[in-house]
Every structure is written in C-alpha cells, then in structure tokens.
C-alpha cells in the first residue's frame, strides 16, 4: 500500500522514508494547529556549528535528534575529554543494546560507592522512556557539554548528575518521521513502546521489562536524591511549553510534596520564565473539545514514574513538554529546567534530605489504598483560543485551535485525592516461599525481605475474594484482576523459609502498595496471584447429594441455614447452586480457592 506525504499540496507520494537532508519544517506541520512565533533568552545556550563540542542537535539546525549510534559516539568523545565524566552501562536491552548512564561529578567518581563517599546529593535525569519523546537527551547532551567544556562546571560542585540519555534504546531505533504525528519534531522520532511492545512508563510497579529492571537496580545502588523523567505530552493546545508535576500532598510522601511544591517549583518556574518559556503544572483536560468542563489533577499510582517515586519516597519530577511546540523550544526549555534543578538541589540539599528522611520514617497509620475524585481549587489556565466545527470527514465535532493566546480564568479542577479506603498499617506480610516471582519482584525493588528460620505460629489476617473481575483483554502483557476482599483472623504455623516483609523499613510504603491487594498497582492487580482462581478439584453430583443428606442429618444448625437459603427463589430453583452450597461447606472443598496466600500481621 502506498503512503501519502502530508504536505501543503497533499499530492506527493511516498516511496522512501529516509531523510537525505535536514528539512526546514516537519512533515506533519500542515495538519497541526497554528504555531505562534517564539523567541527566548534560552536561545543563547545554542553554540555555533563550528564549536568544537557542538551537539548533533545544534549541528542540524535544532530539527533533529541523533541515532543511538551517533548519540553514544558523541558522548564517548565527550567523556574521554573530561575527568569529570564517566560512562556506565546499566544493562542490556531486549535487542542487546547497552543502556548507558553518564556520571558527572567534580571528583571523577564512577561507582556508587565512590559517589557516596563524597556525601553529595545526586540528580538522576532520564530521557527516552518513551523514546519518541526525546527532548531530555539533546538538552542533557548540551548541559554536560557546558559542564565539561563551558562555564558551568560549578553546577556539580555540590551535586552529582546522573544522566540516562536513552532508556528505551530499542524503541529509539524504531525511528521514523511518521512516528508521533501529534508532535512537532524531531524529524525522526522513536517508538513509544519497547521492542516487546511494553510501555515502560506503565511498568514501574510490576517491573517486567528488562529496561525497567535495570533502571530500578540503578536507583537502588546509585541512590539519587531527586529523579527527573522527561516526556512530551499530547492532547490540547495551550500556551505552556514546559509543564511538570510530581506526587500529591495526600499521597505517601507529603513532606517531599511540600519541598517540591514550594522550594523546587518556585525556583524552576522563575528560571524558565526569565529565559522566555511559559512553565505550568501538568495539564490534562476533562474534555479536549470543551475547556469549560475543566481540568484534571492527577494522583499517579506506582505504575508511573512519579507515582512510584511517591511510594518509595524518591522526589520524582515528571516533565511533560508540550508536543505542539517546536523541538528547539522544548529542548531549550528542558535545558533550563535541568540546570536550575542542579542549582536548587545544591542550594537546598539539607531541607530536601530532611523531607526524604521524614517521609521514610513516617509510617503512616492508617494508610490509604484507594482514592476517588473530588473538587480541587480552580486554576487560571493559559490556553489557546479555539472553535468547534462539524467535520465533513467524521460527521462529529472537531476542534480548530486558532493559535491565539487566551486566559481561561478559574477553570474547575477535579482530582483523585479523596480517601476512598484506608487500612490499618500492617506490621508485616508473610509470603509462602513458593511465590517466587512475587518475592523476587520485591527484592528487585530494594524492599527488605527475610526468610523465617524455623516454623512459627502466629495469629494473622487472611484475605478471601469474591466478585472477581478479570480484565477483558491483556493490559501491558498482564491479565489484570479486581475483586471484593474480606478478611478473617487465623492462627497458623508458618513453614521455615516463609518470607517476612516488615513495613518498618524505608520502603515499607512501597511494600504495602505492592502487597495490599486492593491497591491500584498491587502485584495482585497485575495478575501475579491469578492461579488462586483456578479450580483443580471437583465433586460429582452423585457424590455431593448423599453427602448433603448426611451433613443435614448430623448438623441441625446447618439444616436451619439451608432452609433459610431456600427462601431465595433464584437459589431454590438452581439445582447446581444448591449442591455447590453443600460442597463449599464440606471438608472436601479447596480451602485455598480464592484465598490470598499473603498473610498480614497487624
């Protein structure tokens, strides 16, 4: 099938997707909303094409981003040229590429132990988790160039920089000018998912992808004090070019939220504004075709970077640059934000460390496991004017953004910050040793686990499920499950090698988020316990009927309960249900069916 190039004439046919020269505009420019002109002080960050350390982004007119090979070739030369820089492989991708991290330190440290000896905070910046959203890579390359060979080496006097230029390296190489149609550049963009089609920014909690496992191990050993995950957003048009967010006050890390929302946001937004950018909070419209319906405030769950950071008390910034702004503008805005982040962390490292420590020690009780929406404070929103027309193509309404700035005052805002369900904080969870996948997953996250050395008798909480609902299709490679939970108290003897997971540890809240079955991104939700819903033993009708007669004859109380159950007409008319009623109350019934194998100590 032939593909059509989208151009001003809409007539040219495409037979090759190779780019032989740097284009003056992006091929999708004609189908995107009108673009207001932009100029900013941050343009002075760009060096000339004759500069000894010009980046490929600058060399190619700020329209392109280099391939994996060209990126690493340029970075290798830069690292070799400076004693402040080193390069570390975090591990291999599914297709066998190294995932590299550049370490920038004044002392030239190139290992976690060396880094920690100097007792300085580290900022981890990650680009390309969605590899088409690659702004952070080119901004980071410019920044570390200016640290190594410009006038900005002082940025790492009091703080270290850990820079992952491309996390989804395989997706990065599935590159085309026809990826991410809603985004203005670069010319060639990578793919949203990895080589096995997993979305890495839905993988933090379940950590199935090799890339995510490497990243979490790196977080555990390099111990950053702040983590930045750089994205480019989709959706509505607006004036902001750099938007960013983090956890909410109601979540697992309220002290970190306070630091980010006051100290960090204030200094970063001031820096961006002074450089000609328009910063703002993460922006999601409730209805992309009707701004009067307001905006959404997001309390992220641990499948996402900023939700995961909340659960493990790692200050985590999710940058969402605006996809409709040109690549040049987005990269320069990201540079300004990264530079100011290093300054802010260096200046306020004591209060940042205190916030992290207080959240790690907080041990919230009760602790919230599910949330629901509630109204928030209204926002003044720096939007773009639009009209709504009826499309001749779809027959439905379509938005036409005019490119003219418009302030939408005091828009209503809703967000999932209202407590829905809280539980008493468990002292510990106990996991039978056969659930190896779950135990290994907890260890991967850095959660402390301890096998029992001898048989131990304890009184614990046991959870059973009913009203079980499985996902109608796989989600991120898993069959998800939700169920109504009920608990009862049992006294049981735990076998040696049963795994104890105490919640009195720095990652105790993350353990709760992964092991409490009703939590949004629990390992139960992700299907790691789905075999408990498999029936493996049965009883035939010819056996259960005489068994029921015997049970009724021996237990008058049971007979009374059965007579009461028969008052339900649907039950009385269902012969299978009546036989199942007796089977479930007999000693032959599987007492582990729909029972959560993880026991809880309160």
Per-residue 3-state assignment (H helix, E strand, C coil) for 427-445: CEEEECCCCHHHHHHHHHC
Q: Following CA atoms 28, 30, 31, 32 in sequence, which dihedral angle do they give, to the nearest 10 degrees? A: 80
Residue 397 pLDDT greater than 60, yes or no: yes
Q: Which among 286, 251, 206, 463 is positioned nearest to 371, based on CA atoms? A: 251
Residue 19 clears pLDDT 50, i.e. is over it: no
Mean predicted confidence (pLDDT) in 189-206: 98
CA 201, chain centre distance (Å): 4
Q: For the chain, percent helix, then strand, then coil, each to nearest 5?
A: 35, 25, 45
Q: 21: pLDDT confidence band, cut at 50, 70 and 90?
A: low
Give pLDDT, residue 36. 85
| Structure-token match 């950071």, residue found | 309
Residues 6+ positions from 272 with CB-CB distance below 8 Å: 242, 278, 279, 333, 336, 337, 340
Residue 366: asked if its preceding bond is cis (omega within 30°), the reply is yes
- Cα 166 from Cα 253, distance rounded (Å): 28
Helix/strand/coil for 544: helix
Residues present in the chain in total: 602
Tokens of 48: 């000339």
State yes or no: pLDDT of 42 exceeds 50.
yes
Q: Nearest to residue 45, comparing CAs of 116, 141, 171?
A: 141
pLDDT cut 90: percent of the chain above it:
92
Residue 469 phi/psi, 5-degree rounding, is -130, 120
Residue 345 has pLDDT above 60, yes or no: yes
Q: Is the pLDDT of residue 12 over 90?
A: no
Reading the block at residue 65, the tokens are 């981003």
pLDDT band for 24, please (50, 70, 90 cuts).
Answer: confident
Is the per-residue pLDDT at 214 higher than 90? yes
Decide: 140 and 104 in contact? Cβ < 8 Å: no
User: Per the confidence metrics, is the pTM higher than 0.85?
Assistant: yes
pLDDT band at 22; cut points 50, 70, 90: low
Phi-psi region of 490 (alpha: psi -120 to 50; beta: other; left: phi over 0): beta
> How confident is the model over 535-560, as a mean pLDDT?
92
Distance CA 295, CA 240 (A): 14
Q: What is the mean pLDDT of residues 251-273?
A: 98
**CA–CA gap between residue 38 and residue 230 (Å, rounded):** 22
Least confident of 60-74, 401-415, 503-517, 573-587: 573-587
Are 374 and 417 a contacting pair, CB within 8 Å?
yes
* Residue in the block written with tokens 């000018």: 177
Does pLDDT of 9 surpass 90?
A: no
Encoding tokens for residue 183? 């985004």
Average pLDDT, the chain: 94
**pLDDT at residue 503 in the model:** 98
pLDDT at 16 over 80: no
Q: pLDDT digit string (tens) for 84-115?
A: 999 999 999 999 999 999 999 999 999 999 99
- Tracing tokens 């002290």 back to the chain, one arrives at 255
User: Which three-class secondary structure state does DSSP give residue 493?
Assistant: strand
Dihedral sign, Cα of residue 584, residue 588, residue 592, residue 594: negative
The answer to whether residue 372 scores a pLDDT higher than 50 is: yes
Question: What is the end-to-end Cα distance of the chain in Å, rounded?
Answer: 63
- Compute the distance between CA of residue 479 and CA of residue 487 in angstroms, rounded to an integer: 24
């Amino acid at each position: 099938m032939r593909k059509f190039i989208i151009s001003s004439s809409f007539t040219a046919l495409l037979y090759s997707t190779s780019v032989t020269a740097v284009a003056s505009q992006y091929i999708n420019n004609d189908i995107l909303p009108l673009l207001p002109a932009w100029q900013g002080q941050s343009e002075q960050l760009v060096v000339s094409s004759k500069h000894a350390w010009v980046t490929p982004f600058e060399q190619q007119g700020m329209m392109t981003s280099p391939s994996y090979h060209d990126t690493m070739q340029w970075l290798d030369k830069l690292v070799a040229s400076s004693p402040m820089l080193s390069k570390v492989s975090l591990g291999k991708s599914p297709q066998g590429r190294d995932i590299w991290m550049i370490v920038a330190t004044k002392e030239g440290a190139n290992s976690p132990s060396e880094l920690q000896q100097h007792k300085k905070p580290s900022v981890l910046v990650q680009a390309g988790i969605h590899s088409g959203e690659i702004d952070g890579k080119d901004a980071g390359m410019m920044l570390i160039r200016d640290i190594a060979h410009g006038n900005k080496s002082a940025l790492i006097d009091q703080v270290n920089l850990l820079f992952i230029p491309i996390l989804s390296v395989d997706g990065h190489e599935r590159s085309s000018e026809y990826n991410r149609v809603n985004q203005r550049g670069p010319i060639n963009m990578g793919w949203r998912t990895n080589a096995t089609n997993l979305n890495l920014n839905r993988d933090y909690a379940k950590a199935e992808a090799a890339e995510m496992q490497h990243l979490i191990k790196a977080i555990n050993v390099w111990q950053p004090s702040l983590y930045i995950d750089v994205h480019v957003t989709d959706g509505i048009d607006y004036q902001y070019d750099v938007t960013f967010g983090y956890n909410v006050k109601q979540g697992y890390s309220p002290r970190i939220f306070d630091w980010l929302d006051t100290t960090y946001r204030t200094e970063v937004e001031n820096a961006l504004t002074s450089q000609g950018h328009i910063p703002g909070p993460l922006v999601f419209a409730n209805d992309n075709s009707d701004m009067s319906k307001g905006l959404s405030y997001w309390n992220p769950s641990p499948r996402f970077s900023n939700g995961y950071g909340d659960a493990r008390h790692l200050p985590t910034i999710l940058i969402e640059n605006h996809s409709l702004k040109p690549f040049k503008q987005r990269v320069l805005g990201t540079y300004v934000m990264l530079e100011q982040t290093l300054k802010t962390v260096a200046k306020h490292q004591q209060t940042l460390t205190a916030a992290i420590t207080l959240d790690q020690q907080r041990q919230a009780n009760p602790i919230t496991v599910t949330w629901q929406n509630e109204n928030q404070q209204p926002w003044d929103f720096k939007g773009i004017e639009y009209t709504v027309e009826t499309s001749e193509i779809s027959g439905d309404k379509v938005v036409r953004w005019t490119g003219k700035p418009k302030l939408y005052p005091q828009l209503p805002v809703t967000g999932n910050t209202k407590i829905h369900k809280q539980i008493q904080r468990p002292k510990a969870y106990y996991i039978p040793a056969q659930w190896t996948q779950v135990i290994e997953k907890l260890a991967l996250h850095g959660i402390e686990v301890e096998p029992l050395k001898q048989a131990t008798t304890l009184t614990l909480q046991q959870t059973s499920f009913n009203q079980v609902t499985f996902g109608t299709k796989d989600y991120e490679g898993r069959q998800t499950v939700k169920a109504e939970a009920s608990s009862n108290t049992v006294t049981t003897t735990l076998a040696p090698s049963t795994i104890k997971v105490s919640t009195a540890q720095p990652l105790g809240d993350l353990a709760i988020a992964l092991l409490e079955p009703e939590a949004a991104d629990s390992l139960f939700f992700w299907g790691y316990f789905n075999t408990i819903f498999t029936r493996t033993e049965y009883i035939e009708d010819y056996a259960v009927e005489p068994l029921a007669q015997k049970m009724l004859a021996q237990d008058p109380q049971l007979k009374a309960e059965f007579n009461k159950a028969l008052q339900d007409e649907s039950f009385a008319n269902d012969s299978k249900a009546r036989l199942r009623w007796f089977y479930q109350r007999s000693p032959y019934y599987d007492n582990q069916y729909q029972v959560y194998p993880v026991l809880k100590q309160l």
